[in-house]
Amino acid sequence: MTRTIALIDVNNFYVSCERAFNPRLKYQPVVVLSNNDGCVISRSNEAKALGIKMGEPWFKCQAMARQYGVEALSSNYALYADMSNRVMSILADFSPHQEVYSIDECFLELTGFAQKDLIAYGQLMKTRIFKWTGLPVCVGVGATKTLAKIANNIAKKNIKFNGLCNLSNIKHEELNHLLHAMEAGEVWGVGRQLALKLKARGIDTALDLKRADPVYIRQSFGVVMEKIVHELNGTLCIDLEEVAPPRKQILSSRSFGDAVSDYQSLAASITLYMSRAAEKLRGQQSVASVIQVYIRTSPFKLDQAQYSNSMTIPLPTPTDDTRQLVKMALWALKRIYKPHYSYVKAGVSLGDLISKASMPLDFFTSPDSSDRSTALMRTVDRINAKMGRESIKLASEGFDRSWQMKQGNKSPNYTTSWEQILCVKDKAFSF
DNA sequence: TACTCCATATGAT
DNA sequence: CTAACGATCATATGGAGTA
């Protein structure tokens, strides 16, 4: 049976979240910056029109942006995550089969819907999401995830589609016409390098890729690209993943507000990042068998002495206990740390994750002590969930936070903090 | 020879 | 005033080491 899959994607997600709560930002050029106010990661259409590029370092366009009155906001992930949850739960009502693909987009299975109803159904999604959250979305429909992605892309780019594009119902020539107008590099799964490689073989457009010989593609590019070719031809190869599989790796890293050189700051940051990673680990009921710690100077400062190093430590017994994980991480840090360098970033990762339930009993750890660890961690997690992050933390996180990232212009947590909502009220009513 | 392990590259958002 | 360039996940790949 031919399938029908929709891809719903919020337009300029982070900027749109900010606008939903701050109408002053409407019709203005607005950008949202990455952590540490480093790069542009979301742009309003007005900001795009000014030529501000995705991923551009903010300091490079700051002067120009000031000239045009561009609003630049620090990213507020608490707000975006909450808004994302609202959108996803609204969309879940439109189909029993949903794959949450990223913070701002999801696939819905619409197989079996009458073609004549699809557009109206998509329109209903758009209006309902806008009414209930204030966020604008585009809907793309196709026979495969790859085609749904393309449909969404087309809906976003051409105003005449009104934010809605159904490729599952159009004539072959018409589809081919649209694919011909699209570069191969814009197809989902084809990045810069692969686009170059394709171009070298005479495959320039999405239509060229669709018409390429799958056998040849498999030989020169591998299975992944072959699947893309099939998907472009309407044969489903990449199915919906409704239940998110547990992560195989958990990473926590951050750039510092200002470079640091002292061991103490690095140790504090590593403790914090490992604590975060361990929370995530317990959240998905896994234990880690390997940890990695790394620190590095800025690769962009070519005039400065460079140093970057990492250490990977296999754990004797897999664990999810923050205390053990931090202990090992600091042990590793001590070994790779060298004084006198200007470090700009540190991070940890947890690897070889296995389900906690399937973990074999360890000969050297008594079941009793392992139960106590689990109970303690669960209690800490619950207290922190209820009373706020870091209500309970390890002392090695320290109290001096001078190294923490810059967030010069962050909006209030409109949806997750009463205190900050009240603060907004005061502002709004002080004429 | 075939597999595992590891670092690196690439892609997505 | 100055200096200022993200985070997190997945998979592919190729070489080195190993059974």
Per residue in A244-298, pLDDT tens?
A: 888 899 999 999 999 999 999 999 999 999 999 999 999 999 999 999 999 999 9
The residue among A371 and A140 whose pLDDT is bigger is A140
- Burial of A378 per CB tally in 10 Å (0-12, 13-18, 19+): exposed
Q: Which nucleotide is nearest to A63 (CA to C1')?
A: C4
The pLDDT of residue A424 is above 70: no
Task: Select from A45, A46, A80, A75 the least CA-distant residue to A58.
Answer: A75
Query: How much is the pTM?
Result: 0.92
Alpha-carbon span A324 to A423, nearest angstrom: 40
**Among candidates A188, A220, A178, which has minimal Cα distance to A202?**
A220
Q: What confidence score (pLDDT) does residue A93 get?
A: 96
Determine the Cα angle at A288 with ends A286 and A293, to 5°: 135
- In this complex, the answer to whether residue A290 has its CB under 7 A from any atom of chain C, a nucleic strand, is no
A418 touches strand C (CB under 7 A): no
pLDDT digits (tens, 9 = 90+) for A178-213: 999 999 999 999 988 889 889 988 999 999 999 999
Closest C-alpha among A46, A41, A44 to residue A76: A41
Strand C and A222 CB separated by under 7 Å: yes
**pLDDT over threshold 50, residue A429:** no
Tell me the nt nearest to A197, Cα to C1': B10
Residues lining strand B, beta carbon within 7 angstroms: A 101-105, 149, 187-195, 312
The answer on pLDDT for A427 being more than 60 is: no
Mean of the pLDDT values across residues A118-122?
Answer: 95
pLDDT given at position A430: 35
Q: What is the pLDDT of residue A425?
A: 52
**What b-and-e string marks burial along A158-179, b requiring 16 or more CB atoms within 10 Å of the CB?**
eeebebbbbbbeeeeeebbebb
